[in-house]
Amino acid sequence: MTDLYYDKPSMKTILLFGLRRSGNHFLISTILQQCSNYVHINDVNLDYNSYMKYKNIKQTLQRKDNQWTGFKDTECVIISMENKQINKEEIDKFRIIDNCHIIMLLRTPYCHFSSVWKVYKKSQKHLLDIIKLWKIYAKLYLNNNSSIINVLYDEYSINENYRTNILNKIGFDNIKIDKKKTIAYQESSFQNEKEQRNVYKSLENCVFKDDKTFLNLVQDEEIKELYKAIQLIKTN
């Protein structure tokens, strides 16, 4: 009887760019639920040389925050970058890697900004930093040429078909998700269910609709126009 030999599936590499309070860890949680042997390198700077170094180092942890860790012989490694500029030159170095997927996560603005305002105790600096980066991400989202997988968190969190389509693009089939299963740092900014729902409405109906300081910071015509354009393509 002739022995059959099968090529070992290549490790899946997922590079995730997302702003803080935009749903990074919910997205990561749903991805990790599709894997049995993985490493999550959380909130680091993307660096090809570090990737090449640590892919040859034996796995000792499933998650490492703010530092690289070994992921040799794992099924999947997720490398997440939070509040980082998207370095196209560094990304291009990863394009030669087999089974590598690049994701950019975006959350609709008034949901996102409300969460930032709440969590960072109404810090204008934190919110202004996020607004600046949100505009950059939104423009990339709208001008993406399909080399990066766009994910709109608000749609991903409620629309099963949209979620399945995204996970299919990353190469997952037979998808199973338990929304009650969570990972570190995965929690809503608002504990009250009514407030959670309000966050997903328009600026005029959001949690901080009566907060003049918040409104002065987020009432921006460029944000409004970018959001309008994103809504037109959100389910693509």
162-183 confidence digits (pLDDT tens): 999 999 999 999 898 887 787 7
pTM, to two decimals: 0.91
DSSP 225: H
- For the domain with range 12-181+188-233, which CATH number is right: 3.10.20, 3.40.50, 1.10.20, 2.60.98? 3.40.50
Is there a contact between 148 and 106 (Cβ–Cβ < 8 Å)? no
SS3 186: coil
114-150 confidence digits (pLDDT tens): 999 999 999 999 999 999 999 999 999 999 877 899 9
Residue 38: CB partners within 8 Å, gap ≥ 6? 32, 62, 74, 75, 76, 77, 78
Domain range annotation of the chain:
12-181+188-233
